[in-house]
Amino acid sequence: MNSKHIVAIGGGGFGRSLGSLEIEKYIISLINNKRPKICFIPTASGDSSLYKLNFYRAFSKLDCITSHIDFFSRTENLEKIVFNQDIIYVGGGNTKSMLAVWKEWNLHNILQKAYEKGIVMSGVSAGAICWFEKGVTDSFARELNIIDCLGIVDGIACPHFDEEKEREPYVNDVIQREIIESCICIEGNCALHIKNDSEYSSIDFGNGKKCFKVTMENNNLKKEIL
């Protein structure tokens, strides 16, 4: 049986600067193929041309076979493209808009099947939280919100936990008010690797960056390092 992998990146990576491509190297290390096939889905950024260019620069350097999926020009046969990959990488941007477009094209169901087949699912920010049941998003102009995501893995996730000052107070508030029971919080330059739905490891590609699970215990907030 194929192992299942999700690599959810809290912030950073090739979208900001190519740098040493540490997290990108980690993602492709999960594949045995010498030249893994990786497909970029930049829907959350409105199929940004610059973002696509950075993707091709980064993963071509790592000797991958690269492709991408557009939704704002003519769209190819999605099942054929997705099921032919070793890795899917989802870019950051507006999570709510991204998920709405995906559902219109049935990509959410295609990605679920691809995950079950053992195709590695990865991404940053919107591309990190989309795999969970729910995510904390700044898709709305004035405030953070919790929205329904794909539900491929359990839990509620928040990216950019240390990078955007409103994130931690928001998470603490919604837990204290019992709107949610817990939240998986991923710092910038860190990723959460989930293997087979239940094995969690924190991948630091910055400087001491971490993933946390925030819960309430005995009326106090508990911040547990994953």
Cα–Cα distances in Å, from 224 out to 16, 123, 182, 210? 28, 23, 11, 10
The number of angstroms, rounded, from the C-alpha of 12 to the middle of its chain's C-alpha atoms is 11
CA distance 199 to 14: 26
CA distance 156 to 42: 22
Residues 6+ apart with CB under 8 A from 66: 38, 39, 40, 55, 56, 59, 60
The number of angstroms, rounded, from the C-alpha of 196 to the middle of its chain's C-alpha atoms is 16
Catalytic residue numbers, as ranges: 125, 160
> 95 phi and psi, to 5 degrees?
-65, -45
Q: Residue 159 corresponds to which tokens in the numbers above?
A: 């990216």
